Structure 1
Amino acid sequence: MSRFALRGATIALASALLSLLSACQPAPGTVKDEALRAGRDAASFPAADEDYFHDMDGAIALSSDEIKGRNMWLVWTGGDDRLWDGLTNTSVGTLDLLKTLSSYPGLQASRDNRWTWLGLVNEPCFKKATGPDPNRYGLWLDQRDPSCPGDPFENEQKYPGVKIGARGKTVPVGSYYGYASGVVGLRLFPNPDFDAAAAKHWDAKRYYSDPNYYNDKNLVRPYRVGMSCALCHVGPSPVKPPDDPENPKWENLASNVGAQYFWVDRIFDWNPDSSVFPWQLFHTSRPGTLDTSLISSDSINNPRSMNAVYNLGPRLTQSLRWGQETLAGGQRNNKQFNDFLSSGPLTQFYTPPDTVHTPRVLKDGSDSVGALGALNRVYLNIGLFSEEWLLHFRALVGGQPITPIEIAVANKNSVYWQATEQQTPDMALFFLKSTAPHLLKDVPGGDKYLTKDQKVLDHGAMVFADTCARCHSSKIPTPAPGVDPGGCSGKDYLTCWNKYWAWTKTDDFKTKMRAIVQQKDFRDDNYFSTELRVPETVLRTNACSSLATNAIAGNIWDNFSSQTYKELPSIGQVTVYDPYTGAPSQYTMPAGGRGYIRPASLISIWSTAPFLQNNVIGTFNPSPSVDARMASFQDAIEKMLWPEKREKDPVLGDKIPGYIDRTTATSWLIIRGGYLPDFLRPLLSPAHRFFPAIFGEGEIKLGPIPAGTPVNLLADIDLLGESTATPEEKLDHQKKVLDLLTKLIHDLNALPPNATDDDARKVFANVVQPMLALSKCPDFVVNRGHYFGTASYPGEPALTDDDKRALIEYLKTL
């Protein structure tokens, strides 16, 4: 078939698919969530007040409201089990959380190695399944230890679940907290679609062992799996780690440290296969990282570390200085503390009708509408009100214009949203009580890692004052008027920042900062970050985190980013590198919010390595022990301060300043036949298989993608032309995308059956420049930047080796 015929067929297929999807979907704003359809209201979802998790977080004493906040954080899923069940089909079987929870002998992970292999936290008081459970449809799910107290959240009389079935039948679904699964952060819910016909078709043995059975988009599983915030935020306590991480006790776990050991490529791909391109994509996520725009894809592969939550009180307080934002339109529908409190210190963070002082939680500082708005957004992002959310984008794969999910619509049509809004103030209260730093000096045996030489510590403190504090201390001198970027509006921010940055290089700043560092209470209530927006031109780290588009005007999180964020100016140009030749070029960063990163907090930095926003600096160690954390910290901090020690690219070496994530094996983009829409299935029959290299026996298979291909060369293509300014430019962009894909498919199809990787590389070599031109983030070097203290910054003296070693000793004390 000619290239023109192929292009015509591609257009026809795309048009047919888009038409089918559009015809099947209701209009945004017209759907109700399961709870509302079941006749529930927010008052019928009272927060749980049982202190079941008392031993966590150092067994701190909590009030009733604070206990409710912790329970919400750990077990409330807000009906998101509906989303995760549906994503099993959307991901064409790659994601299957029921298998992630199982200990069936044929799976790579079970309760015995769940921590080591997956980085998931085994819930205390459970035992490994030793066989199929006849009471749970033959599934190999963890069993509760009968010697332990029961889970109070499974009380169906106190916490009755909604009763609704998408197939037109009303069926019970248990407690609205579901049932404990054996994994912290995942809850089991009876599937309302598992009716008599589904039960008759169900075969647990084939579910685990027969691909022809489990790779069927019509298969109905007996349970849906819901996800709470705990999955990505609970981890081993740095100061009281478990002796055996596969078998922790509640006292060994902390609610807010972040899932530092989480392997997304293994959790979201239950049967990992390096020859499948989605595995190659997931594999770029280092342990402890996740792309928060994975589901509502912005066509940028953007794995970022899961933040530890420390010192929320001081963090809120410093937002009065640096976190002022202006709200407009739908942004003003976010709940503020003032909506729940008539007086008290928490009401100072909002001045009606449109001014809020807020921490910036996401790394690009986009969720800037207030602390409660940031918490509520998380629940939408993990699937609350998916009935509406999924109408605004195409999950996982992208390629469809993204439109904003409106808070006003959620308030009207989602009882789960209403209940979540009512409960997040209690969660904030819990954080205010539970986010104290984990200090190395408090760890049994931690003293052996801390120097006793006060001169070294004093030296390190001065280095910190001169080099680090301007971004990594919430206690800094007060600048002159017009120099503090915290007082500037969005459009004026960069001008203020440049003045501030220049001032931090002066003797005036350094003298005052040294005096502050020497104060006895310097570490007390210091968040060790300013949370200012730092331009990527200063950081020089990988630009993809700051290029995320979900929060720009008109995108999915439009209602959750402030007007001042949307008005931020362009920071100018950053240097990017050709992934095949290493040749540098300049890339102009767009305006409208992108281009900035808020500095990470250095609290408990000894326990949080590897470093940078993508956990790429330092060697990962799967053990949560203090010795292992310190080994990881030492390796990571040396690579931060001595950039020449960082990993180099295996293809380009010293031609570029770091490492590019490349495919590790020849791979293919495969869609199993069972997940194809019915109207596309005839393409799999011999009579219709006009592209044998693409439409193979029982599946669609695109490739080969040769080993060594930059993963983000494929993953970051801007399919929609979101960065274009006019409809004409967007249309031209989409034509270029179509031409590119047509050429790539045609040339791959022309390869002989025994084509080598070298043959396939020639195909990709012909399209590298068009792909770079269409990329939403052409910056592929993942471990560059943050060169502070080196000779890379003109006008700033480089630190000596003694300076750096003293600084390391000081950082261990934070």
Structure 2
Amino acid sequence: MKTSIWLATMAVAAIAALAWFTKQPEIAQAEIATQPSVAQAQMTSQQNSAYTDNEFHSGEVGLSPSARAGREIWFKATAGNERFHTYTFQQRVGVLIDWFRVLRGDQREQRFQTWGLINDPGCCTPGSPNCPAKSREETYGFDWCPGDETLLKFVGKSGYRDPACDFKDAPAESADPKGHQDGREDACNLAFGTSTGALGFRKFPNPKFDPVAWKKLNGSLGTWEGYDRKISSDPKRNDAKLSRLSDGSIEPPFRIGMACGACHIAFNPAKPPTDSAHPKWENITGLVGNQYIRISEIIVSGMPSDTLEWQVFAHARPGTSDTSAIPTDQINNAGTINALINIAQRPVHDNTQVLRWRKAEVCPSGAKEHECWCEPNKPGKCWQRSLKTEAVHHILKGGEDSTGALGAIQRVYFNIGSCAEKCWLNHLTDLRQLDPAARNFGQTPFSIGQCRRECPNFRAIEDRLQDILAFFLSPESAAADLQAARANMHASKVAYGKDDLTADLEQEFGKGAVSRGRTVFAANCARCHSSSKAPAETVDFHALDPKTGLRADWLGSDALAPVSEIGTDRCRALHSNHMQGHVWEEFASENYYARPADPNIPEQNGGGRGYYRNISLLNVWAHAPFLHNNSVGPELCGISTGSYDFYRNSYVDASKPGYPMLSHDKSPVCWKYDPSVDGRFKLYVASMNDLLNPSQRAPKATKLDRDIVLDVGPRVWDGSEEKLIGFSVRIPAGSTAGKVGNFQHKAFIADLIAAKLHPQQLEKNYTTQFGAANAHQLVLAMQDTANAIVQDPGKLVDAIKSARARLPLLGEVYSSCNAEIENDGHRFGEDLSPSDKKALIAFLATL
């Protein structure tokens, strides 16, 4: 009996250390009207409005039919993920998104400075001149956007016909089997919806919406503020921590989905808008990557900032995204959003062993479903899985996506929620599941073949992947050189050519700086940051490829280097979702699995992990701050107003134990968002100085800026107040967010129990990995920790910290990544003379 109580106590206590502990309160059901109707004012017809989709389509000029189709899919297609972002993410992960807070129409003017979102030029604020919607009541508080004249009529009703049903397909690939040419999945399953007012974020009418209940809750159809209100105003009640966003009886008017472009659509560095709140389509490009977006804050926008979810989840810098945050591997590893530039010149890697599905006309006799499958009622449309040697790109920061560009594009749709319930959600880790024998204790690989059979949204995207790749290869991905950017600035005055750029740079960095910088680059940087096979001294890094008209040198080898060689924050390199046995297994090549472990880092790695790609330096002038996590260079802070101030000081004193945060008055000042040509260039220069002088960098480590209190155990109502039957665990402000998020609680729980019940077996397990002497000390430390927690469960965090202080090896055993300083490493170039550093900065600005 005592053992059972102890096991239960240990399990509950360890869960409290987890980064995702939430509770589901009992909520009274609100009255729901049975006959929903939408009260709307008469709208001006779209044809008579300045706000149409015509300008979006003007961006298709010069594109092939395939690239045109790919562009529209990239900007608009959600592949059915609106349900995921409205229900599934909240229910399965326990993190709430407040879409009104992010997308409310009355804050369109500050949307970029707040969230880093790009306003859709085709949308308008209700009531503004020529806007078809005259009040926010008509649009439920959102912008009015093209297509809303139809969509808004179906809020609270069924029967909406998605605009994707009218999508104009490009001619099929002539090399495809005829069944694939004639049997493409219905384009309706691309699921476009209409714009929310922020590019890449799409809305769909919710047929379950009840306007009567909504108006009762919010006081108006034009706001969602009541929906975000706390369920209880009594601070002693647990419901005071939760908003109506978690109330399943209240359905919002829209379901919100995301297109791939949500993170990649950005201002054109060579032609930015004069006003970030009012861009035109000529100021927007779909592939360069948005270095200002706060996607992490968007995903946790419905959580209070003093919750563990907010403090750990929203740690990423602007312009970075943790691509394994939802299919979590418990490694905080936010990385910069890939800039898709000059893709036609991007290096491929030969002799890659790729096991994947390929188009076929028929299946071999006797082939099983997991080897070959033909789509029902579509003769000649089959898919066969086989191993072949191919030349492929390496995608993601560590080259994980390595089965080809088409597969990498398809996986992005899974990463943003497409086909979640039908294909991959049940293959993820449930952070509350503590039984190693139960499903969702750890990740399992999801099957592409099964997803193809079960999810029409998958097939709709897959049948058009070649179109998206054609868009990637179109002029949309062409480099935006500084010379062209400054030429656009001078267009109304005088011509601005390459010689003018050189003269300006040499006035700032010294006579002959550009020429000298080229020599410095060839001798010190080109080994990693050039795609040319010729000796770097002979390469013209500005030369154009006669076939593509693009820069011949991609300015990056895209080859893999061990993270210990680069020396940067290694957490992203330890990303594990593509390993064998993990969720994205089928998107990695056999070569990926065969990579040797990096013996020079303390954490367990191997199986594909432990590497970074040597990235391209094309247009590096426009993509500061630097490194895979935007950590080198000034911190960006955007707006600083009340609850929309998302900047968190990450500067720490690395000379003191625990790396305490520096006070704001002792930290470098953060930089406001400035996407102008001059703003980007100034940020580039400051970031290059930071990069080339690592000893002068102010260390950065993201810390919790508030105490987090987790209640462990049920709450009961005693007739007068709510009481906790259990204990509370406090994670103090100043704890490193990465260490909290990287804590491997499941292994910790299992070993705590084993230390009490089976210490000899645990010591044997440790011996295999750490040697006999360390193994014995580890078992003793775990036993002491278990005893301390049993005596006072509320001291869980203190007990773990005490054990780690006594035996630092514990940190290596139960943390997926122990790195804390986020802007360390990449010390290449620090030994250059000051004049050579200036020359290098000048030359790189010309690339």
Q: Same fold (TM over 0.5)?
A: yes
Which residue in 2 is equivalent to 1:439? 481
Structure 1 contact 606–811 (Cα < 8 Å) conserved: yes
The 2-side partners of 1:199 and 1:541 are apart by: 50
User: SS of the residue aligned with 1:333?
Assistant: strand
Partner SS state of residue 568, structure 2: coil
Q: Which residue of 2 aligns with 1:625?
A: 676
Would the aligned equivalents of 1:437 and 1:604 in 2 still touch at CA under 8 Å? yes
8 Å CA contact retained: 2:70, 2:470: yes
- Aligned-partner Cα distance in 1 for 2:327–2:783: 22
Aligned-partner SS, 1:127: coil
Q: 1:333 deviation in Å? A: 1.7
**Residue 477 of structure 2 corresponds to residue 451 of structure 1:** no
Which of residues 396, 402, 414 is equivalent to 1:368?
Answer: 402
Q: Write out per-residue CA displacement over residues 448-500 of structure 1, whole angstroms, 9 at most, x where no aligned residue.
A: 853377832221111111111111111133xxxxxxxxxxxxxxxxxxxxxxx
Aligned Cα root-mean-square deviation (Å): 4.3
2:522 alignment counterpart = 465
Decide whether aligned partners of structure 1 residues 268 and 353 sit closer, same or farther in structure 2, where only a CA change above 3 A counts: closer
Structure 2 distance, partners of 1:518, 1:305, is: 25
How far does residue 211 in structure 1 lie from its aligned partner after superposition?
3.6
Which position in structure 2 is the counterpart of 1:121? 118
Query: Which letter maps to 1:209?
Result: R
Equivalent position to 1:156, from 157, 161, 165: 161
Higher mean C-alpha displacement, 93-102 vs 293-302: 93-102
Instruction: Look up the SS of the partner of 1:88 in the other structure.
Output: helix
Give the conservation status (yes or no) of the 8 Å contact 2:331–2:816.
yes
Match of 1:112 among 88, 92, 109: 109
Q: CA distance change for structure 1 residues 467 and 88 in 2, over 3 Å: closer, same or farther?
A: same
Rounded to whole Å, the distance in 2 between the matches of 1:690 and 1:199 is 29
Aligned to 2:102: 100
Distance 1:670 1:116, change over 3 A: farther
Contact 2:345/2:553 (8 A) holds in 1: yes
- 1:333 aligns with 357
Asked whether the 8 Å contact 1:3–1:742 carries over to 2, the reply is no
Aligned pair 1:600/2:603, yes or no? Answer: no
Question: Once structures 1 and 2 are overlaid, which stretch shifts more, 444-453 or 274-283?
Answer: 444-453
Residue 189 of structure 1 corresponds to: 204
Is 1:359 matched with 2:364? no
1:715 to 734, 741, 748: 741
Question: How far apart in 1 are the matches of 2:333 and 2:431?
Answer: 13
Report deviation, 1:592: 1.0
Q: Distance in 2 between matches of 1:799 and 1:762?
A: 47
Name the residue aligned to 2:593: 566
Aligned CA distance change for structure 1 residues 520 and 14 (closer, same or farther; 3 Å): closer
The answer to whether the Cα contact below 8 Å between 1:541 and 1:782 also exists between their aligned partners in 2 is: yes
Given that residues 206 and 255 in structure 2 are in contact (C-alpha distance below 8 angstroms), is that contact kept between their aligned partners in structure 1?
A: yes
Q: Which SS does the other structure have where 2:709 is aligned?
A: strand
Does the CA-based 8 Å contact 1:529-1:601 persist in structure 2?
Answer: yes
In structure 1, the partner of 2:837 is: 804
**Identical pairs, percent:** 28
Counterpart of 1:390 in structure 2 is 425
Contact kept in structure 2, 1:404 and 1:558, CA below 8 Å: yes
Q: How many residues align?
A: 653
SS of residue matched to 2:291: coil
Shift of 1:683: 3.6
Whole-angstrom CA distance in 2 between matches of 1:730 and 1:297: 29
* Deviation of 1:594 (Å): 0.7
Summarize the alignment of residues 84-95 of structure 1 with structure 2, pairs less than 5 Å apart: 84-86=85-87, 87-92=89-94, 94-95=96-97
TM-score normalised over the length of structure 2: 0.69
Aligned partners of 1:573 and 1:588 also within 8 Å? no
Inter-partner Cα distance in structure 1 for 2:788 and 2:720:
21
Q: Which residue of 1 aligns with 2:65?
A: 64
What amino acid maps onto 1:440 in structure 2? L
Whether contact under 8 Å (1:124, 1:250) holds in the other structure is yes
Deviation at 1:685, TM superposition (A): 3.5
Q: Distance in 1 between matches of 2:706 and 2:5?
A: 32
- Is residue 227 of structure 2 the alignment partner of residue 207 of structure 1? yes
Partner Cα distance (1:397, 1:376) in 2: 29
CA contact (8 A) 1:289 1:304 kept: yes
Pick one of 522, 527, 539 that aligns with 2:566: 539
Residues 484-523 of structure 1, C-alpha deviations (whole Å, 9 max, x = no match): xxxxxxxxxxxxxxxxxxxxxxxxxxxx321224785598
Give 1:716 shift: 0.3
8 Å contact from structure 2 (residues 785, 800) kept in 1: no
Q: CA deviation at 1:405?
A: 1.1
Equivalences for residues 517-536 of structure 1 within 5 A: 517=540, 524-536=551-563
Tell me if the contact between 1:90 and 1:396 (Cα under 8 Å) persists in the aligned partners: no
Q: Structure 2: how far apart are the matches of 1:70 and 1:565? A: 30
Match of 2:693 in 1: 642
The yes-or-no answer on 1:246 pairing with 2:277 is yes
Q: Give the Cα separation in 1 of the matches to 2:190 and 2:603.
A: 52
CA drift of 1:268 comes to 2.0
Task: Measure the CA separation in 2 of the matches of 1:308 and 1:738.
Answer: 49
1:109-146 residue CA offsets vs partner (Å, 9 max, x unmatched): x212111011111111323357974445xx31112489
- Report the 3-state secondary structure (helix = DSSP H, G, I; strand = E; otherwise coil) of the residue aligned with 1:704: strand
Change (3 A) 1:750 1:719: closer
Give the TM-score of the pair, scaled to structure 1. 0.72
Structure 2 counterparts to residues 65-80 of structure 1, below 5 A = 65-80=66-81
Aligned to 1:663: 704
Q: Secondary structure at the match of 2:255?
A: strand
Tell me the amino acid that sits aligned with residue 389 of structure 1. W
Query: Structure 1 residue 200: deviation in Å?
Result: 9.7
- The residue that corresponds to 2:661 in the other structure is none
The structure 1 residue matched to 2:194, chosen from 170, 173, 179, is: 179
**2:646 alignment partner in structure 1:** none
> Cα offset for 1:246?
1.3
Trace 1:262-341 onto structure 2 (pairs within 5 A): 262-270=293-301, 273-315=304-346, 318-319=347-348, 322-328=349-355, 332-333=356-357
Cα distance, 1:88 vs. partner? 2.9
2:415, 2:763 → 1: CA distance? 27
Report the 3-state secondary structure (helix = DSSP H, G, I; strand = E; otherwise coil) of the residue aligned with 1:469: coil
Partner residue in 2 for 1:551:
578
The letter of the residue matching 1:749 is G
The answer to whether 1:785 aligns with 2:825 is yes
**Which structure 1 segments of 5+ residues have no match?**
16-49, 105-109, 163-172, 340-349, 478-511, 575-586, 649-658, 672-679, 696-701, 752-759, 791-797
**AA matched with 1:460:** G
Superposed displacement of residue 772, structure 1: 4.4
682-691 vs 770-779, which deviates more? Answer: 682-691
Find the aligned partners of 1:392 and 1:335 in 2 and give their Cα distance: 26
> Quick one: distance in 2 between partners of 1:562 and 1:333?
12
CA distance in 2, matches of 1:69, 1:180: 17
Residue 449 of structure 2, aligned match among 408, 418, 438 = 408
Change (3 A) 1:287 1:175: closer
Q: Which amino acid letter does the alignment assign opposite residue 122 of structure 2?
A: C
Query: In the aligned structure 2, how far is the partner of 1:82 from the partner of 1:808?
Result: 47
> Per the alignment, in what secondary structure is the counterpart of residue 203 of structure 2?
strand
Give the whole-Å Cα distance in 2 for the aligned partners of 1:427 and 1:357: 19
- Once residues 148 and 452 of structure 2 are traced to their aligned partners in structure 1, the CA distance between those partners, rounded to angstroms, is 43
Residue identity opposite 1:301 in structure 2: N
Distance in 2 separating the partners of 1:537 and 1:13: 35
1:394-441 residue CA offsets vs partner (Å, 9 max, x unmatched): 478887311111111012111111111111100111111121100000
- Per the TM alignment, residue 217 of structure 1 is displaced from its structure 2 partner at its CA by 4.3
C-alpha distance in structure 2 between counterparts of 1:235 and 1:404, whole Å: 33
CA contact (8 A) 1:299 1:719 kept: no
Alignment of 1:679-694 (within 5 A): 683-686=715-718, 692=724
**Compared CA separation, residues 149 and 789, structure 1 to 2 (3 A):** farther
Distance 1:326 1:273, change over 3 A: same
Distance in 2, Cα, partners of 1:150 & 1:211: 30
Distance 1:528 1:54, change over 3 A: farther
